[in-house]
Amino acid sequence: MKLSRLLQRFSTKRCTVLWPEFPPSSVYEEAYAQRFCFKRIKSLTNNIVFYNPEEKWENISLPEETETVIVFTDPYTYLSESAFSLLTQSCRKNTANLPVYTSGTKNPDQLVSLPFPYVDPISFEEAASHMAQSNKTTPTSIPDLACFTCFRKDLPKVKSGNIEFVVNTGALAHRFVEMFSSPREDLVKLIPKNACLVLDVGCATGGFGKKLMETKKDVVIDGVEMDPLLAQKAQEHYRKVFTGKFEDADIPEGQYDAICMGDVLEHMYDPWKALHKANRLLKSRGVLVGSVPNAAHWSIIRQLIAGRFDYIPLGLLCVSHIRFFTPRTLKEALQDAGFKVETLDLIPIPPTPEAEKLINALKRAGVDPKLLKGAEILFSARKP
Residue 167 lies in a domain: yes
In a domain, 180, yes or no: no
pLDDT at 58 over 90: no
Q: What are the b/e assignments for 186-207, b being 16+ CB within 10 Å? A: ebbebbbeebebbbbbbbbbbb
pLDDT digits (tens, 9 = 90+) for 231-287: 999 999 999 999 999 999 999 999 999 999 999 999 999 999 999 999 999 999 999
Give the total residue count for the chain. 384
30, pLDDT greater than 80: yes
Do residues 283 and 359 both lie within one domain? yes
Q: Which of 140, 175, 210 is the last residue of a domain?
A: 175
Domain-ending residue, one of 122, 153, 175: 175
The answer to whether residues 157 and 239 belong to one domain is no
C-beta separation of 271 from 349 below 8 A: no
Number of domains in the chain: 2
**Total-model pTM:** 0.91
Strands 256-262 and 282-293: parallel
pLDDT score at 380: 98
Residue 142 belongs to domain spanning: 3-175
Q: Which among 175, 199, 218 is the end of a domain? A: 175
Please check whether residues 167 and 298 belong to one and the same domain: no
Q: Check whether 1 has a pLDDT greater than 70.
A: no
* CATH classification at residue 308: 3.40.50.150
Q: Strands across the sheet with 374-382, in order?
A: 240-243, 220-225, 197-201, 256-262, 282-293, 374-382, 340-348
> Which of 338, 310, 321, 211 shows the shortest CA–CA distance to 264?
321
Instruction: Report if residue 65 sits inside a domain.
Output: yes
| CATH at residue 131 | 3.90.550.10
The answer to whether residue 5 scores a pLDDT higher than 50 is no
Identify whether 25 is part of a domain: yes
Note whether 139 and 205 are same-domain residues: no
- Say what the pLDDT of residue 13 is: 57
Highest mean pLDDT among 206-220, 229-243, 319-333: 319-333
* Of the candidates 209, 231, 232, the residue with the CA atom closest to the CA atom of residue 221: 209
- Percent of residues, the chain, with pLDDT higher than 90: 89
Q: Which of 146-150, 179-183, 238-242, 297-301 has the lowest mean pLDDT?
A: 179-183
Q: Has residue 153 been placed in a domain?
A: yes
Task: Judge whether residue 359 has pLDDT over 60.
Answer: yes
Whether pLDDT at 57 is above 90: no
pLDDT bin (cut points 50, 70, 90) of residue 9 is very low
Q: Does residue 43 fall inside a structural domain?
A: yes
Q: Are residues 202 and 106 in the same domain?
A: no
Residues 156 and 257 in one domain: no
In this structure, the answer to whether residues 75 and 41 fall within a common structural domain is yes
Residue 327 lies in a domain: yes
Instruction: Please tell me whether residues 277 and 168 are part of one structural domain.
Output: no
